[in-house]
Structure formats: structure tokens, C-alpha cells
Amino acid sequence: MKLTDATLRIHHTAICVNDFDHARDFYTGFLGFHLDGEMDHRGEPALGEVVALPGALIRWAMLRHGEHRVELFKYYTPQGETAARRQCDFGYSHLAFEVADVDRVYEQVLRAGYRCNSEPKVMRNGHTKVFYLLEPEGAVTEFLQFLKKGDAHPGQGGPNHGGA
């Protein structure tokens, strides 16, 4: 069965953080997101039911960049795991931005004092050039540049269908 809905489209990516102010400032101050809304000590009963954490109490913000949004959460209760996830760990692993000049973005990232796993690398048989930025709490943001248009080699996906 295929899900059908007249409006079905991506709305946001949710990210749980420990240092809310630092994370919000990273997204708004460095990545250029706009703050759509923020609430502190949000704890309505429906929240606990939706996230399956009865009694959840959070700090929350919705940040927008173009048509995509990042939803930030800081849980006061319950306390969650605080270690950064590795890319091979189960679940969502990173957020990716397409850019026009990945080398220029990389230089800006370094000047701003952020760490990266590596310098930009050409991947997918020359279709993309990517690097991973380590966010303040260890989450990963990928920056990717498509190097040429056209069909990718067999088994590599289309020209605009993915980074690493």
C-alpha cells in the first residue's frame, strides 16, 4: 500500500540537543536559519503522548531555511543520552545542504572555528564533492556540491540524489 495525501511533503528535521542556546545560535548565526518560534518549559500532556515520553518537559524552537525547517528540542525531563551518535549508529545520521562551492564553504567553516571529519572529498565517481561538519554537540551536517550534470554510473543513483 502506498500512502496518499494531497499535501505530503517534507516539513522539518528534528534535532535533540544539550546546549540549546549554542545549537540555536549555530543554526541561526552560522547556517542562516530564521527563528519561526520558540518556547521554553513546554510540557502539554499531548506532547508526552506524541513522543511516547509521559511528562516530557522541553525547550523548543522551529528554525527555517528556505522551505526546510529544523526543529530543536532540549529535554529537561526525561533526561536522554548525551553522547554524540556515530554515522553507523541506527537512525537518522545527518542533515545535508547542497552548496554551489563546497571548497569555499569549507574555508568558511574552518574560519568560524568548526571541526570537520575531513577536507572536501570527490565521491560517487566524480559526481559529488562533500565534507562533514561536526556541529557543536557532535551532530553532523554535510555540505555537498554536485560536480556535473547527467546520469551517474550504474548503481550510483542519479546526479542529484545524494552525497556521501
- pLDDT tens, residue order, the chain (164 aa): 999 899 989 999 999 999 999 999 999 999 999 999 999 999 999 999 999 999 999 999 999 999 999 999 999 999 998 888 888 988 888 999 999 999 999 999 999 999 999 999 999 999 999 999 999 888 899 999 999 764 333 333 444 556 67
Are 72 and 137 members of one domain? no
Residue 62: which of 91, 34, 103 has the closest Cα? 34
Residue 69: which of 38, 93, 91 has the closest Cα? 38
Are 71 and 114 members of one domain? no
For residues 106 and 142, the answer to whether their CB atoms sit within 8 Å is no
Kindly give the residue spans of alpha helices, DSSP state H, lying in 51-156. 102-111
Count of domains for the chain:
2
User: Cell triple for residue 14?
Assistant: 528534528
Cβ count near 64 (within 10 Å):
16
Buried b vs exposed e over 20-57: b needs ≥16 C-beta within 10 Å?
A: beebbebbbebeebeeeeeeeeeeeeebbeeeeeeebb
CATH of the domain at 35: 3.10.180.10
Q: What is the pLDDT of residue 100?
A: 96
Is the residue at 141 inside a domain?
A: yes
Q: What is the pLDDT of residue 91?
A: 84
Are 52 and 109 members of one domain? no
Q: What is the pLDDT of residue 163?
A: 66
For residues 87 and 93, the answer to whether their CB atoms sit within 8 Å is yes
Are 64 and 92 members of one domain? no
Phi, psi (rounded to 5 degrees) for 85: -85, 145
Are 144 and 99 members of one domain? yes
The pTM assigned to this predicted structure is 0.83
Are 113 and 139 members of one domain? yes
Q: What is the pLDDT of residue 136?
A: 87
The CA distance from 120 to 130, in Å, is: 5
Q: Which of 59, 80, 101 is the last residue of a domain?
A: 80
The CA distance from 108 to 114, in Å, is: 9
Q: Which of 80, 115, 137 is the last residue of a domain?
A: 80
Residue 11: which of 61, 71, 59 has the closest Cα? 71
Q: What is the pLDDT of residue 86?
A: 87
Are 95 and 48 members of one domain? no
The CA distance from 26 to 41, in Å, is: 21
Residue 28, classed as helix, strand or coil, is helix
